[in-house]
A and B are shown apart, each in its own frame.
Chain A
Amino acid sequence: MDASSIVDTLTAAVPGASYEVGQSVDFATIYVPAASLLDTCRALLEAPSLRFNVLIEVTAADYLPREPRFEVVYHLLSIPNRQRLRLKVRVASNEIDGVVPTVQSVWPAAGWPEREVWDMFGIVFAGHGDLRRLLMPEDWDGHPARKDYPVQIRKAAQTYEPLEVSEDEFKANIERDRMKRAH
């Protein structure tokens, strides 16, 4: 199934959405507006001729200085139809904050890859609920995979500050522990 016939099926299933066929050398690529992403993904999973039942990965690319600056990329796989698809969502730099919805309700596997995209690019997925740092330390500043983020950077990790306990506190701790075990 080529990209244009997938778009035809999708246009029938999702009213009001406008798709655009992207150029590719490997498999079908479709641009989806962020507003209709969730409905599109549901249709991709459920329509009998599509059945994209595996989310292979979610990633992004930063095309600085072009605008819209980011593209979020979803690689999908349909095992029943032996078909692959690349979905792309354009994200302008003023849209990074909660414009793209999370697709966890369609494919639960999206949880961590979306966290990674936020960690690396700073794109907030609306309704994700668990956007914490995945690969970088919790207290890291900035989003390292962006093109304007410097490559060589030296920064001391602040997560591992030495534990400072006075002698009284230390003794009180031991005593509390002993009392706890006595009961």
Chain B
Amino acid sequence: MAELRTETMTVNMGPQHPSTHGVLRLVLELDGETIKSCMPTIGYLHTGIEKTAEQKKWQQVVPLVERMDYLAAQSNSLAYVLSVEKLLGLEMPQRVKDIRVLIAELQRIASHLVWIGTHAMEIGAVSMLFYAIRERELLLNINELVAGFRFFPSYFRVGGLREDLPRGFHEAVNAFLDRFPAKIDEFEGLLTKNDMFTRRTQGVGVITPEEALAWGLVGPIARGSGSDYDVRRYFPYCGYETYDFKVPTATEGDVFARYRVRVEEMRQSVKIARQAIQRISPSGAWACDDPRVVPPPKDKVYTEMEALIQHFLIYSQGFTVPAGEAYVPIEGPRGEHGTYVVSDGTNRPWRVKMRAPSLMAIQALPRVVQNGMIADVIAVIGSTDVVMGDCDR
């Protein structure tokens, strides 16, 4: 009888594996179906955005940073513009803050919809993807309405917004907000008590609260492990302290806990968005009144010399930002986003660095999947909601 062979097997998962959310490569060492070690390789989507940003003017960086985390474009640009505005010392009108809150929350819902669709599809509930993408379509339509671009609207600008809200914006947002809570119930009806889904997710990929914080997983992952840290509560920006909402948490720290946290986050986002849309008047201020940064209105450009000069300066040289550095954190869909910007006092950034929650999540992945089953890797990656564009930048 032949000797029993007991060596481990090495499996290369990715970089083109459909369940790795882009191009993530995992080299797994398996003993049967149990994972002995996991070695992630990243960098396949590295496009040097931070280096490119150093060559652009301050305002031109907005479309660049939106392309980092392509599922939460407007969270990225919000993090960037808040940091630059901090350096400039700009204070936004209340209406601009409310519009930013509304759009950031809609962006969070859109990102979570892609997450719930792909996460459920990867562990077997294929139809979820179509339900989720159908709702996301409405949010992309709102993006298109606002800025003429569905994925990367670049609607947030340093100094305010690109332009005022279009006609029909309130109707579109209200129609979505009226419709969506029932859809969350529908998603939960398909998944929360689904025996196959709970068996694939409960007790799988457990992250303890200490681990979550030590590995820097602040965001929905840490909240699934019992932390209540949410930037919107701890370090409010854009007036989040005036909104009434709850920070959902769970204590189990497994894949199912992270699922429950994100689903509840979508409900809370609807709640915040409802309050925001009521505060936003159909027309009004859409930028601050700082002439250094915000171009003068077109009718003045055509009639007044000073306005024409200012317009020309802003569009040819851009504006300068006082020397210094700033990091303003925001709560993105994947956790704490923030852009560390350094200015040397010229019209181009000296250094732009986006804090990438996905990078931290993938760094912690080997720890989480170790000694688990190979099929659980898919569930864990899905539950950490990594986006490789965010990770590789």
- Residues of A whose CB lies within 8 Å of any CB of B are 23-27, 53-57, 59, 61-63, 73, 75, 77, 79, 82, 84, 86, 107-109, 111-113, 116, 133-137, 144-145, 149, 151, 183
In chain B, positions 11-59 with a C-beta closer than 8 Å to chain A are: 42-43, 46, 48, 50-52, 55
**27 pairs of residues in contact across A and B, judged by CB atoms under 8 Å:** A24-B324, A25-B87, A25-B89, A25-B324, A25-B325, A25-B326, A26-B328, A27-B327, A53-B214, A56-B218, A57-B355, A59-B340, A61-B351, A63-B350, A75-B338, A79-B213, A82-B234, A84-B235, A86-B327, A109-B214, A109-B216, A109-B360, A113-B359, A134-B42, A135-B392, A137-B43, A145-B50
Task: Please state if A23 and B43 are interface contacts (CB–CB under 8 Å).
Answer: no
Closest residue to B233 on the A side, CB-wise? A82
Identify B2's interface contact among A55, A79, A183, CB under 8 A.
A183
Task: Please state if A136 and B43 are interface contacts (CB–CB under 8 Å).
Answer: yes
Q: How far is the CA of A40 from the CA of B359 in the complex (A)?
A: 25
Closest residue to A151 on the B side, CB-wise? B55
Task: Please state if B327 and A26 are interface contacts (CB–CB under 8 Å).
Answer: yes
Task: Please state if A151 and B51 are interface contacts (CB–CB under 8 Å).
Answer: yes
Q: Give min CB distance, A85 to chain B, whole Å.
A: 11
Known A-B contacts A134-B43, A145-B50; the reply to A109 vs B215 at CB < 8 A is yes
Assuming A108-B215, A151-B51, what are 19 further A-B pairs, CB within 8 angstroms?
A25-B326, A26-B327, A53-B214, A54-B229, A56-B216, A56-B336, A56-B355, A57-B340, A59-B340, A86-B327, A109-B214, A109-B364, A112-B359, A135-B46, A135-B393, A136-B46, A137-B43, A145-B51, A151-B55
User: Which of chain B's residues have a CB closer than 8 A to the CB of A134?
Assistant: 42-43
Task: Please state if A23 and B324 are interface contacts (CB–CB under 8 Å).
Answer: yes
- Asked if B353 is at the interface of the complex by the 8 Å CB criterion, the answer is yes
Closest residue to B356 on the A side, CB-wise? A57
Q: Which of A26, A79, A86, A133 has the most CB of B within 10 A?
A: A26
- Asked if B249 is at the interface of the complex by the 8 Å CB criterion, the answer is no
Task: Please state if B350 and A25 are interface contacts (CB–CB under 8 Å).
Answer: no
Task: Please state if B336 and A25 are interface contacts (CB–CB under 8 Å).
Answer: no
User: Which of chain A's residues have a CB closer than 8 A to the CB of B351?
Assistant: 61-62
- Per CB-CB distance, the 6 closest pairs between chain A and chain B, nearest first, are A109-B216, A135-B46, A135-B43, A112-B363, A61-B351, A59-B353
Q: Give min CB distance, A178 to chain B, whole Å.
A: 15
Task: Please state if A61 and B342 are interface contacts (CB–CB under 8 Å).
Answer: yes
Question: Chain B 357-387 against A: per-residue CB contact (8 Å), 1 yes, 0 no?
Answer: 0011011100000000000000000000000
Q: Give min CB distance, A84 to chain B, whole Å.
A: 7
Q: Give min CB distance, A82 to chain B, whole Å.
A: 5
Q: How far is the CA of A24 from the CA of B343 in the complex (A)?
A: 12
User: Which of chain B's residues have a CB closer than 8 A to the CB of A23?
Assistant: 324
Q: How far is the CA of A56 from the CA of B215 in the complex (A)?
A: 9
User: Which of chain A's residues have a CB closer than 8 A to the CB of B216?
Assistant: 54-57, 107, 109
User: Which of chain B's residues have a CB closer than 8 A to the CB of A56?
Assistant: 216, 218, 329, 336, 338, 355
- Asked if B227 is at the interface of the complex by the 8 Å CB criterion, the answer is yes
- Asked if B86 is at the interface of the complex by the 8 Å CB criterion, the answer is yes
User: Which of chain B's residues have a CB closer than 8 A to the CB of A107?
Assistant: 214, 216
Closest residue to A75 on the B side, CB-wise? B327
Identify A75's interface contact among B43, B51, B355, CB under 8 A.
B355
User: Which of chain B's residues have a CB closer than 8 A to the CB of A133?
Assistant: 43
User: Which of chain B's residues have a CB closer than 8 A to the CB of A61?
Assistant: 342, 350-351
Question: Chain B 63-87 against A: per-residue CB contact (8 Å), 1 yes, 0 no?
Answer: 0000000000000000000000011
Closest residue to B217 on the A side, CB-wise? A109
User: Which of chain B's residues have a CB closer than 8 A to the CB of A82?
Assistant: 234-235
Q: How far is the CA of A25 from the CA of B340 in the complex (A)?
A: 12
Question: Chain B 319-354 against A: per-residue CB contact (8 Å), 1 yes, 0 no?
Answer: 000001111110000001010101000000011010
Q: How far is the CA of A77 from the CA of B214 in the complex (A)?
A: 11
